[in-house]
């Protein structure tokens, strides 16, 4: 997905085509096949949400990852797009407008674009921290306005719509979730391609230049403000499309969708996935939605885990998941990926120990503090039943954490050595040592 792969694949035109478009064919195939594998209703809803969030977080990363603009208020465009889409759906249902449902996200996109244009003109005049603060201010402004302007935002309850009351196109009514899934998947796929294509355009390349060195970009003829502004508008458009998809999926939009919390979630998704690579936000959206769905089923303290994962990422893996994967790309190319598996496997022991300790600690405290009053002190974790009142689980948890930390520190340097051996080869290391 970079110029390097482009040059590497020169020569055989068929191979070239496969390399360049193969990944998209695979992506499309996966999206088509997934609902055939995971057929349950819950899985389908989860996948719909993933599709929406992939579009939203990719749109967000146009700003943060590509252009270096940290926004704390991108839910504004997502939310406004969603609200307009809901209103559009209601207008269509009332027979005043004759557009089919699959086109409705475009209305959301238009709304995102318009407000991206208005607010972008204001905020992109500045970069860095000031931009971040303006985005926060605008975000809070719209979020608090949304509670006041009840006509458009519907107050606390929000605005509902019914997607089945639309024009039918080729007999599809979008009643069953599976039909909505394919609608979302199609939009998601199209948006992914469009946003990837954007990274290859002159403007897309200059976004990276502006992120890396805004001053120099001005001396090769580009107004950094204009680059930021146009990108902001386009990003607003895609965020609006995501909002429109959400409106169709949930048939409901409310103040939460436009709040600072929603802006925070998209930031988390993009960052956890990795803002330095195009695939990062996709991975992040998938992971975070999965966490939201499964963790919230498993534990009442899931938001806490979520925050801890984010902090850990920021502290130790600022490249996100995509960054971690890319770290291993050279190894794969050299064919030494298998070589580090044993070393990683050893590391798994302290990691699992530490994690088990942490989870025990959090879950036991959670039970003791939140549930014990109603359900009594007896609880079950990892299939072991115990009493959250007793001292033992606490001691075990702390011991596991301490042990994990100690062993991890012990093995950490060895693992780093193993990695650099695999990445640069043992001989080169020895040569350097010999010098």
Q: What residues from 178 to 207 belong to the interface with another protein (CB under 8 A)?
A: 197-198, 200-206
CB count within 10 Å of CB 9 equals 15
Q: Are 199 and 179 in contact (CB under 8 A)?
A: no
- Residue 86 beta carbon to another protein: minimum distance, rounded to whole angstroms: 13
Compute the least distance from the CB of residue 361 to another protein, in Å.
12
Task: Provide the β-strand partners of residue 168.
Answer: none
| Contact by Cβ (8 Å): 378, 387 | yes
CB 364 within 8 A of CB 324: no
Please answer whether residues 294 and 248 qualify as being in contact, where contact means their C-beta atoms are separated by less than 8 angstroms: no
Distance CA 378, CA 366 (A): 12
Residue 44: CB minimum distance to another protein, A: 29
Selection from 82, 39, 36, 50 nearest residue 292 by Cα: 50
Report the residue from 94, 98, 220, 392 that binds another protein according to the rule CB under 8 A: 220
Query: For residues 177 and 208, which CB has a smaller minimum distance to another protein in the complex?
Result: 208
Subset of 95-134 contacting another protein (CB under 8 A):
122, 125-130, 132-134
Count of residues touching another protein (by CB under 8 A): 74
With binding defined as CB under 8 A, does residue 430 bind another protein?
no
Return the closest-CA partner of residue 116 out of 243, 265, 266, 236. Answer: 236
Within residues 283-342, the interface with another protein by CB under 8 A covers 301, 303-304, 306-308, 310-311, 314-316, 318
* Cβ 164 to another protein shortest distance, Å: 26
* Cα–Cα distance for residue pair 426/424, rounded to 1 Å: 7
Judge contact between 166 and 97, C-beta under 8 A.
no
Per DSSP, what are the bridge partners of residue 381? 384
- 230 touching another protein, by CB under 8 A: yes
**Cβ at position 219, least distance to another protein in Å:** 5
Q: Could you count the other beta carbons within 10 Å of the beta carbon of residue 219?
A: 8
Q: Which of 10, 150, 334, 380 binds another protein (CB under 8 A)?
A: 150
Evaluate whether 219 touches 225 at the Cβ level (below 8 Å). no
Taking the C-alpha atoms of residue 6 and residue 341, their distance in angstroms, rounded to an integer, is: 30
Stretch that binds another protein, among 222-230, 248-256, 278-286, 348-356 (CB under 8 A): 222-230
Residues 20-79 that bind another protein (CB under 8 A): 70
Task: Select 43 or 136, whichever has its Cβ closest to another protein.
Answer: 136
- Closest separation between CB of residue 399 and another protein, Å? 20
* 241 contributes a contact to another protein by CB under 8 A: no
Minimum CB separation from another protein for residue 132, in Å? Answer: 7
Site for another protein in 262-281 (CB under 8 A): 264, 267-268, 271
């Amino acid at each position: 997905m970079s110029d390097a792969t482009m040059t590497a694949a020169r020569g055989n035109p068929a191979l070239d085509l496969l390399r360049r478009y193969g990944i998209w064919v695979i992506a499309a195939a996966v999206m088509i096949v997934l609902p055939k594998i995971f057929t349950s209703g819950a899985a389908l809803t989860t996948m719909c949400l993933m599709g929406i969030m992939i579009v939203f977080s990719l749109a967000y990363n146009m700003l943060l990852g590509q252009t270096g603009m940290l926004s704390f208020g991108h839910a504004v465009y997502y939310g406004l797009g969603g609200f307009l889409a809901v209103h559009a759906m209601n207008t269509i249902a009332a027979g005043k407008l004759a557009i089919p449902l699959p086109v409705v996200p475009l209305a959301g996109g238009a709304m995102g674009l318009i407000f991206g244009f208005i607010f972008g003109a204001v905020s992109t005049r500045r970069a860095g921290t000031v931009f971040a603060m303006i985005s926060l201010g605008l975000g809070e402004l719209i979020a608090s306005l949304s509670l006041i302007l009840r006509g458009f935002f519907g107050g606390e309850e929000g605005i509902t719509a019914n997607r089945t009351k639309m024009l039918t196109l080729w007999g599809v009514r979008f009643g069953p979730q599976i039909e909505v899934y394919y609608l979302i998947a199609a939009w998601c796929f199209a948006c992914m391609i469009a946003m990837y294509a954007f990274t290859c355009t002159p403007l897309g390349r200059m976004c990276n230049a502006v992120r890396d060195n805004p001053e120099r970009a001005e001396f090769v003829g580009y107004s950094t403000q204009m680059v930021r502004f146009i990108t902001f508008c386009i990003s607003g458009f895609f965020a609006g499309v995501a909002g429109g998809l959400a409106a169709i999926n949930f048939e409901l939009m409310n103040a939460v969708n436009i709040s600072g919390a929603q802006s925070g979630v998209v930031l988390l998704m993009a960052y956890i996935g990795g803002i330095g690579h195009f695939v990062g936000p996709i991975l992040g959206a998938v992971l975070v939605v999965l966490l939201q769905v499964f963790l919230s089923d498993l534990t009442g303290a899931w938001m806490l885990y979520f925050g801890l994962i984010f902090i850990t990422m920021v502290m130790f893996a600022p490249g996100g998941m995509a960054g971690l994967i890319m770290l291993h790309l050279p190894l794969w190319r050299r064919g030494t990926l298998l070589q580090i598996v044993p070393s990683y496997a050893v590391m798994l022991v302290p990691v699992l120990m530490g994690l088990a300790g942490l989870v025990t600690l959090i879950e036991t405290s959670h039970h003791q503090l939140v549930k014990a009053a109603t359900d009594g002190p007896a609880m079950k974790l990892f299939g072991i039943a115990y009493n959250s009142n007793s001292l033992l689980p606490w001691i075990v948890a702390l011991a596991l954490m301490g042990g994990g930390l100690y062993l991890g520190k012990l093995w950490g340097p060895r693992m780093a050595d193993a990695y650099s051996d695999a990445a640069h080869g043992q001989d080169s290391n020895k040569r350097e040592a010999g010098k």
